[in-house]
A = this chain, B = another copy of it.
Amino acid sequence: MEEQKTEEIHKSDEVQEHKPSGSRRDDNTVFIGKKGTMGYVLAVVTQFNNGAEEVCVKARGKLISRAVDVVEIVRHRFMPEAKIGAINISTEELTSEDGSKNKVSSIELKIQK
């Protein structure tokens, strides 16, 4: 019984995972939003300067191309020694305010120091 309780606490921790507002998360992930490309480039470089070995850049929908721009600018202009790791694409289902569901593509690009 005690074990089960512990598990529930873990789950409720996970639920808060998605924060649509911020562009950064503490676990070395940069979420691409509607701000300028260079802001996200700076966010990635900062994470590396703070000791991260790998940074994950995520984006959805039309912002996918901005995510690719960010990774390319980081690699070519600021960190020529960095390598691109796994690139994954997937489909997410978003529920809009009126309850209708929309499918949207997403991308995840990993950059390694």
Measured CB to CB, the residues of A under 8 A from B are: 61-65, 68-69, 71-72, 76, 84, 87-91, 105, 107, 109
Contact = CB atoms under 8 A, between A and B. Distances in A.
Contact of A68 (B71, B76, B107): B107
Contacts of A89: 68, 71-72, 84, 87, 109
B90 A72 contact: yes
A79 to B, nearest CB: 14
B91 A76 contact: yes
Contacts of A107: 68
Contact of A65 (B62, B72, B109): B62
A90 to B, nearest CB: 7
